[in-house]
Amino acid sequence: MGNVEQLIDQYEIEEKVLFLSDMTDLESLKSITGVSNVLKQNNEVCIWGIGHNILGDIVKYLHEEGIVYSDIKHVRPNLEDVFLKLTGYKMEN
């Protein structure tokens, strides 16, 4: 079956990167390798994607394009995310 990291890779569980920015061209973020979806609510941009260097690729893109951002967060998937993908149910306490 494998460890948590292997399961995340095997079932292609997406990571999430969040940051604050006034940027308006969200579609351009989808050109970053591995990015599957981008949403923005108020000034918080949320990017979902798969890749071993997704955070680095996003930061590199933001710097290359001169996009001002702050408060960047990287949310890695966990075992509960794998369970949810496989079963469709959230784990109960």
List the domains of the chain with CATH numbers.
14-77 (3.30.70.980)
> Could you give the count of Cα atoms lying within 13 Å of 83 in the half-sphere of its Cβ?
7
pLDDT at 68: 96
Q: How many CB atoms lie within 10 A of CB 77?
A: 21
pTM here is 0.83
Residue 2: what pLDDT? Answer: 75
CA distance 36 to 14: 9
**Dist CA 85 CA 88 (whole Å):** 6
Position 43 pLDDT exceeds 90 = yes
More confident residue, 90 or 75: 75
